[in-house]
Amino acid sequence: MNSIKEKEAHNIDKVGVIGLGYVGLPLLHTFHRAGLTVFGFDVDQSKIDSIKSGKSYIKHFNDEQIVELSESERCTVTSDFSKLSDVNSILICVPTPLNHHREPDMTYVVKTAETIGNYLQKEQLVILESTTYPGTTDELLTDILEERSGMKQGEDFFLAYSPEREDPGNLDFNTKSIPKVVGSTTEKGRELAVKLYEAALDTVIPVSSAKVAESAKLLENIFRSVNIALVNEMKLVMDAMDIDIHEVINAAATKPFGFMKFTPGPGLGGHCIPIDPFYLTWKAREYGLNTRFIELAGEVNNSMPEYVVNKTMLALNERGIALKGSHVLTIGISYKPNVDDMRESPSFVIMDRLVDLGAEVEFFDPWIPMIPPSREHMNWKGKESIKWEQSVISAFDAVVIVTDHKNINYLELKEWSDCIIDTRNVYPNLSESDKEKIYKA
């Protein structure tokens, strides 16, 4: 074992990032730009090949940034996990989805921890960045790594938790500028993690434990989920009263204190808000507690796709067209504007439901020309986006705007389509003639 003096001088010059997706790839790039030697690991060989060839597989992360990695002697990307032995610190950035019972699916974290345990070296620092329930780092991760490696956490190796805060496509914030919360089971683990992140990021915020850091991430997204559910429920009430919810929200937002603006939508998407609250709900049951507020918010948000489908059905009905046998176009497959991220997108829920009711469904998305394989919605794999042409668009009985990408000509859409279901307030101020063809949902 190294001496105490050597422990205190723990090196941070070699960083390994496991999982090169929307979180791991920007993190790898950020540490590399800070001058550190980086190792990127992924089981998906196509991602490794793309980086080596200087091509990005994430549209908002450009080829120039990939080339920085592919042409650098300080960057190695590989599917050979034995090279984990060559790094000082290991960052875990793998998915933490829900299973079909809306319970945490820790498969990716468990398999990754088992792999790390096979190659774990003394003095290495392991940091989990994947969103999870409080106690994952202290309990699950510690047990697996100690059992696999035969070493002791806090003595032979160190653990920390630092939740990812990526917001794909957000031009105002990036991995380097977003404040980084860091917690650990041990004081030494926290010190090492803070030292590592301070080498590459602008602001690092240490907290007293890994559980605090894990809980902070959940609170961030539960806060958003609950408030989105509130405006979604308000939308239903305002719609019944024939009041424009968006005008109501904009009016309320003029108050300079005590109000934060949230907007309604067709349902929640992304890797955080639809999933993270249920991690706390699941863990709370262990303590005999019910998270009624969180679960109610989830129910409201999960009901929004069905509301959109009903609005589509009513809009078609006004034209004497049955939903069964109709041709419906969905605008947008990604869960948010101006990215190619489809994770948990409500578009798929809406499209599946329309198909179940007998509609023929196509989609248009300038960011996603073809739907790639995914853990869910494999029935849409390989489906191609239609062409943006008047003859094509006008042939649909209804068009549902689910994702409001900025590079879509909505004026053309209004000219080409006689029935538009607007879930994103793309058309904020409707004239009387507009109201004959545009339905807010």
- Distance from C-alpha of 256 to C-alpha of 260, rounded to nearest angstrom: 9
Q: Per-residue confidence at 11, pLDDT binned at 50, 70, 90?
A: confident
Is 75 among the catalytic positions? Answer: no
The pLDDT value recorded for residue 406 is 95
Q: Per-residue confidence at 3, pLDDT binned at 50, 70, 90?
A: very low
Tens digit of each residue's pLDDT (9 = 90 or more) over 184-227 = 989 999 999 999 999 999 999 999 999 999 999 999 999 999 99
- Judge whether residue 364 has pLDDT over 90: yes
The pLDDT value recorded for residue 1 is 36
The pLDDT value recorded for residue 10 is 62
- Judge whether residue 7 has pLDDT over 80: no
The pLDDT value recorded for residue 318 is 95
Q: Pick 13 or 163 by higher pLDDT.
A: 163
Tens digit of each residue's pLDDT (9 = 90 or more) over 375-431 = 677 789 899 999 999 999 999 999 999 999 999 999 999 999 999 999 999 999 899
- Distance from C-alpha of 66 to C-alpha of 284, rounded to nearest angstrom: 41
Element (H, E) at 298: helix 292-302
Q: DSSP letter for 131, please.
A: -
User: What domains, with CATH codes, occur in the chain?
Assistant: 4-211 (3.40.50.720), 241-440 (3.40.50.720)
Residue 106 in contact with residue 141, Cβ under 8 Å? Answer: no
The pLDDT value recorded for residue 157 is 97
- pTM of whole model > 0.75? yes
- Distance from C-alpha of 401 to C-alpha of 393, rounded to nearest angstrom: 13
- Judge whether residue 5 has pLDDT over 80: no
The pLDDT value recorded for residue 8 is 42
Tens digit of each residue's pLDDT (9 = 90 or more) over 300-323 = 999 999 999 999 999 999 999 999
- Judge whether residue 100 has pLDDT over 90: no
Catalytic residue, from 75, 93, 272, 419: name it.
272
Residue 328 in contact with residue 359, Cβ under 8 Å? Answer: yes
Residue 30 in contact with residue 91, Cβ under 8 Å? Answer: no
Tens digit of each residue's pLDDT (9 = 90 or more) over 26-58 = 999 999 999 999 999 999 999 999 999 999 999
Tens digit of each residue's pLDDT (9 = 90 or more) over 134-177 = 999 999 999 999 999 999 999 999 999 999 998 877 778 899 99
Query: What does each C-alpha distance from 81 to 18, 45, 96, 130, 245 come to in angstroms?
Result: 9, 12, 20, 19, 52
Q: Per-residue confidence at 294, pLDDT binned at 50, 70, 90?
A: very high
